[in-house]
Amino acid sequence: MIIIMKSNYTPQQLEAVVAAVRAHGLTPHITYGVETAIVAAVGEFHVSSLGPVRSPRRS
């Protein structure tokens, strides 16, 4: 699975995504770009077992 962060993401939002990836038993691999970051979630999983994944709310 590939997760592309929005260009104005915060470090806390990125850490929340990484924590969610790990919580599902997957290994996160982060690639940092000039304006955004990409999180690759690597591992074996079934889409139906993930349940809903929601974007963290901004305050």
**44 band by pLDDT with thresholds 50, 70 and 90:** confident
Instruction: Kindly report, residue by residue over 9-29, the tens digit of the pLDDT.
Output: 999 999 999 999 999 899 999
For the chain, the distance separating the N- and C-terminal CA atoms, rounded to the nearest angstrom, is 27
In a domain, 44, yes or no: yes
In a domain, 59, yes or no: no
In a domain, 35, yes or no: yes
Number of domains in the chain: 1
Domain carrying residue 11: 2-50
Mean pLDDT of 49-56: 59
Mean pLDDT of 46-52: 60
Report the CATH number at residue 11. 3.30.70.1140
Q: Is the pLDDT of residue 56 over 70?
A: no
Q: Taking the model in full, what pTM does it have? A: 0.75
**HEC assignment per residue over 10-55:** CHHHHHHHHHHHHHCCCEEEEEECCCCEEEEEECCCCHHHHCCCCC
In a domain, 56, yes or no: no
In a domain, 57, yes or no: no
Q: Which residue would you say has higher pLDDT here, 13 or 46? A: 13
